[in-house]
Structure 1
Amino acid sequence: MTDVDATAPRSRGTALPRRLDIQGLRALAVALVVADHLTGRPVGGFLGVDMFFVVSGFLITSLLLNEAEHGGRIRLGAFYLRRARRILPAALLVLAATLLASRLVLLPGRFDDIAVDAAWALGFALNWHEAATGTDYFASGLPPSPLQHYWSLGVEEQFYLVWPLLLIAGLALARAIRTSRVTGTGRPSARRTTALLAGTVLLGSLAWSWAEAAASPATAYFSTLSRAWELAAGALLACLAPRLRGLPRAGREALAALGLMGVVAAAVSVDAAAGLPAPGALVAVAATVAVLVSGIGGDDLRTASVLRLRPVTYLGEISFALYLWHFAVIVLAQALAPDWGPGTRAAALGTALALAVLTHHLVEEPLRRPVNAPRRRRAWGPRPALAMIGVTATALLVAVLVPAPGPVAGPPVAIPAPTAGAEAGREPPTAAESLRAELSAALAATEFPALTPPLDDVVEQGINPELEPEAGCLNPADLTDASRCRHGSGRRQALVVGDSVAIAWLPALREALGPDWTVRGYALSNCPFAEVAVAVVEDPAGSQRCNEARDVLREQVRAARPDLLVASDSELNIRRMADAPADLVGAWRAAVVRTVDAVAAPSTEVVLLAPPPAGHTPDGCITRFAEPADCAGSLSPAWAEKASAERAAASQTGATYVDTSGWFCVDGRCPLFAGGTLVRWDIVHLTRQYAAKLAPVLAEALAPVLDTAPDTGGPPPAG
């Protein structure tokens, strides 16, 4: 999303009339985006970016057409210079300030990732970097980069790198064709030629977007090819604008009303499951076009009067600066205050607004006006802007060259002896009791000890290798083969099923069971063990795959006939049932009962293993200023609901329910580490180090089950 001055360029005959309703549209768009990032509401607040694309395509193409019609040509150099003057000062300032703040606040490992994002953002190519690295705008369990929103600037600038060239080539071709057909050198219709180009781009990109959103949603969201149709929609409207000036006022009033209602309806109803950008953004794009059409004959419509209110139009004026600042402020504020309460959100919003106002008046306005503008129009003058550029350069140098202080690693956490110790003839503490002592010590700690995996490489060193695609444990390419993910060669067979949370348990289960067991994993992302239809807003493709694969999953588990079946999945799944039953606990219990009865052979021992409680990520929580208590979490209502349902289902089916809450929490508080080992590498998945740490505890919990689990005596599965 970029800032476009509707009155530029200011060469004679090319200025566009100032439209307050467009500023109002910008205000509405940025308000939706900020509200979405700040509160998660409205559900379709991200569509504000799609609105910006349409408005941008309309204004930029209008300027290019005016220049072609009045000057006879499009001056590429002047166009790109204007773009740079409007975009670069504020964009570079926010980028540099974000880098500096990240250097001072965040861990070195996370800062390194942000620095890479900054390099891509400087080249206006961050959208392709996000697509290439598999970033999912909606579904990542890791904290986002404070520069992630720069992807939209990349889309626009890539479009405008090519769009003027297409117009120039199209006009030249049209002129050549006309000259060859008639005597003389008549001037072709710039609008007709541009309309043909815009229509072609719109249809081609829309088709591409629709297909890519179905095949690769994460790529489609960031791809310029999938986004170009939104800019082209605005461009096509710019071509048709003269023909629409004669619309009757009543029709324009109706268009304005329908457009505003369409924007609101889309914002409160469209989510990631709709397919983005197409078809999910179609309503928002069409509604934005309708509002733009309504103002072509004059922006004095009664139905759109709210867009012309001075506070609204001022928000539109600072919308570019606010867009740049808001996400960086929100992400850094979340790092400093992980609980993210109302007070912190209000402070983040106020900070972003204040920075946007200062940036607009001290940087954008002085640098966008020509140096020969009257003094009264340059009230701020160039000096503050030049000073801000100096600040930007200094911040960049400091962020890149000055070593970042990491979090101070305190001494090892003092772990009190468990109350059930080996004193006075008492039995040695159990593994669970020893772990509880470590958890209690972590909750009492006032500083972070040296942690494993190391804080500068938590994800790479903490992730369980079985979660990687090549392991074949999660999302296997061939669902009819449940034998690819296999560990050990023991005669007794264990099968772990569920979602990615289940696969994260594999290191613990392998060690807990020992060499007499062959352990296999067979799971789909966001797909619970319980046979329920799921609707995961953040992963619509995964939801569809899960729902369609139920028969295959059931048959594979049934055919495996393991001695031990261990099922585990995220606590979030109980809130993802597609039909959203009023009685979540009852519906989940019934689904688990049906599933156990359907897949478990009489000789199979079934264990329902409770998931780790969701909580803060190390990267998102531990900063130079954080204390261990800041990163402690608690058991969520969803975790408790799922536990209640599965405990009841286990009782009804004869399965064993293993309550893991004591492996992560003490008296309802759940620290981020225990004994120097980090619990999670994202919000739900165990680090492989903590999974290994849990092996003795898991072995104790499974001992009663293993004593009764029969030995089938069959050979290990092939494959």
Structure 2
Amino acid sequence: MHRLPGLDVLRAIAIVWVMLFHSWIVGGLDAPYDAIAGYGWMGVDLFFVLSGYLIGYQLLKPLSLGEPLQLGGFYQRRAYRILPAFLTVLAIYVLLPSWREAPGLQPAWQFLTFTVNLLINYQHNQAFSHAWSLCVEEHFYLLFPLLAWWLTRRHSRTLVISLCVFVVAAGMVIRGYASVHGESYLESIYYPTYTRMDGLMAGVLVATIQLHQPQRWAALQSRANTLAVAGLIVIGFAIWLFRDRTFAPVVFGFPLLALGFALLVAAAAGVKSFGRWQVPGAGWMAAMSYSLYLSHKLAMHRVASLLSTHPQIHGWAAFSIYAAAILLFGALLHYGVERPFLRLRDRHTARRGRTAADAEEPFPAASD
């Protein structure tokens, strides 16, 4: 899969949106930007759809050609891609408590086993809580390859559709139950893997249509602009629905978001809509997105600590300092840790007689 400018644009939007949302750490943005930042958590849902599409395409394409599933290679690439930067940031959180955006931190073993999203006590341990989304993707990486292999062997469209319906329905039931019984929104609804599979599944379905239904995919690409507009309308409705966290948005909002973002991703995966746009800086921001996501709260907190002694710096001046620090932290992690290990991965891949992986890199965990 060659690099697609439209997907870079979506990734760049997603990471900026998420970081604006997390600006609550330092007091948030002033009106009217609060309205934009307040829904920035949806950027993670966009990342889920991107990951579902790109990982789905990477795994389903060889299976569709009758090639064997290379689980060892897949997980090795995942380890090179994810672990170095993640472990670096985790070490900072564990060894340098003063750098944390909040004092409490879950035990390190929960981060190392990617179970923090299932066990977190958010009221007392908010530091590095954004690692929850990486846990969701790791669980997806563990389960989806085997599921894809099994479904490919069955050649049953009915089975695929039934499984998708089950995943969506199960998530809705669990979220609805938690909402009715007044359970913690973050711990019981927002963070757990089993309530957040809508986006990943929607992305996989986009990849499945592209690979297994080429005529339908071509028809969709001929109406790519319509897909994009429809996606924006669905997302807009989901935003309206998420004005609060009552039963209806909790149950129906996440599937709607997944559908809206899937339509945008399908449009961006071609060259007949905004997918052909070369937006300056979007590719760089997309490549940096993983490191930015991991480190941006650390940068925000360090700047907030420094500016606390300089109250005369505020407004756009303070915003510029925060932005510069976030980009600096992200660049140090990306160029100092992430990229060297990606180069090491590529050399290891070349020694094994394989070409360098050419799949797109989503976030928080990449496609290769």
Task: Select which of 135, 160, 166 maps to 1:154.
Answer: 135
Q: Is the aligned partner of 1:292 residue 2:269? A: no
Per the alignment, residue 327 of structure 1 pairs with 297
Give the direction of change, closer, same or farther, for the CA distance of 1:322–1:264 in structure 2 (3 Å limit). Answer: farther
Matched, 1:212 2:178: yes
Which residue pairs with 2:362 in the alignment? none
Instruction: Call closer, same or farther: CA 1:235–1:304 in 2, change over 3 Å.
Output: closer
| Structure 2 Cα separation of the partners of residues 32 and 163 of structure 1 | 27
Structure (1/2) with the larger strand percentage: 1
Q: Tell me the distance in 2 between the aligned counterparts of 1:74 and 1:372.
A: 19
The one of 106, 126, 132 equivalent to 1:145 is 126
Match in the other structure for 1:86: 81
Task: Give the aligned partner of residue 49 of structure 2.
Answer: 54
Q: Which amino acid aligns with 1:166?
A: L
Once the two structures are superposed, the pairs formed by residues 521-532 of structure 1 within 5 Å of their partners are none
Contact 1:45 1:267 in 2 (8 A): no
Match of residue 200, structure 1, among 148, 166, 177:
166
Q: Structure 2 matches for 1:137-286, cutoff 5 A?
A: 145-172=126-153, 174=154, 188=155, 197-215=163-181, 216=183, 217-218=185-186, 219-242=188-211, 243=213, 244-247=216-219, 251-260=223-232, 262-263=234-235, 266=238, 270-273=242-245, 278-286=251-259
Following superposition, the deviation at residue 146 of structure 1 comes to 3.2
Q: Deviations over 1:389-439 (max 9, x none)?
A: xxxxxxxxxxxxxxxxxxxxxxxxxxxxxxxxxxxxxxxxxxxxxxxxxxx
- Distance in 1, matches of 2:335 and 2:70, equals 28
Unaligned runs of 5+ in 1: 1-15, 175-187, 375-719
Aligned 1:83-122 pairs, distance under 5 A? 83-102=78-97, 104=98, 113-114=104-105, 116-122=106-112
* CA pair 204-367 structure 1, distance change in 2 beyond 3 A: same
Code of the aligned partner of 2:347: V
CA distance in 1, matches of 2:197, 2:220: 31
Instruction: Tell me the residue number matched to 2:331.
Output: 357
Alignment partner for residue 35 of structure 1, among 20, 23, 26?
Answer: 20
The corresponding residue for 1:125 is 115
Distance change in 2, residues 1:364/1:272 (3 Å)? farther
Asked if the contact 1:257–1:304 (Cα under 8 Å) also holds between the matched residues in 2, the reply is: no
**What letter matches 1:160 in structure 2?**
Y
In the TM superposition, residue 95 of structure 1 has moved relative to its aligned partner by: 1.7
Amino acid at match of 2:51: S
Report how many residues are paired: 327
Given residue 273 of structure 1, which amino acid in structure 2 is its aligned partner?
A: R
Amino acid paired to 2:171? S
Question: 2:144 and 2:191 mapped to 1: Cα distance?
Answer: 18
Tell me, in whole angstroms, the C-alpha distance in 2 between the residues paired with 1:293 and 1:34.
25
Q: Assess, with a 3 A threshold, how the Cα gap between structure 1 residues 273 and 199 changes in structure 2: closer, same or farther.
A: closer
Q: CA offset at residue 47 of structure 1?
A: 0.7
Paired residue type of 2:132: W
Which whole-Å CA distance do the structure 1 matches of 2:237 and 2:208 have between them? 28
CA 249–71 in structure 1, closer or farther in 2 if over 3 Å, else same: closer
SS at match of 2:299: helix
TM-score (norm 1): 0.41
| 1:204 partner letter | A
**Percentage identity across paired residues of the two chains:** 27
C-alpha displacement at 1:247, in angstroms? 1.6
Residue type matched to 2:72 in 1?
Answer: G
Gaps of at least 5 residues in structure 2 are 351-368
Which residue matches 2:361?
none
Q: 1:34 to 1:214 in 2, by over 3 A?
A: farther
**Residue 605 of structure 1: aligned partner:** none
Q: How far apart are the structure 2 equivalents of 1:240 and 1:211?
A: 33
- Shift in Å at residue 44 of structure 1? 1.1
Task: Summarize the Cα distance change of 1:364–1:214 in structure 2 as closer, same or farther, 3 Å threshold.
Answer: farther
Residue by residue over 1:564-612, the C-alpha shift from the partner in whole angstroms, topping out at 9 and shown as x without a partner, is xxxxxxxxxxxxxxxxxxxxxxxxxxxxxxxxxxxxxxxxxxxxxxxxx
**What is the CA–CA distance in structure 2 between the aligned matches of 1:231 and 1:209, rounded to whole Å?**
17
**Matched residue of 2:3: which SS?**
coil
Q: Which has the higher helix share?
A: 2
Partner of 1:371: 347
TM-score (norm 2): 0.77
CA shift, 1:230, in A, is 2.1
Letter in 1 for 2:9: G
Match of 2:354 in 1: none
How far apart are the structure 2 equivalents of 1:277 and 1:59?
27
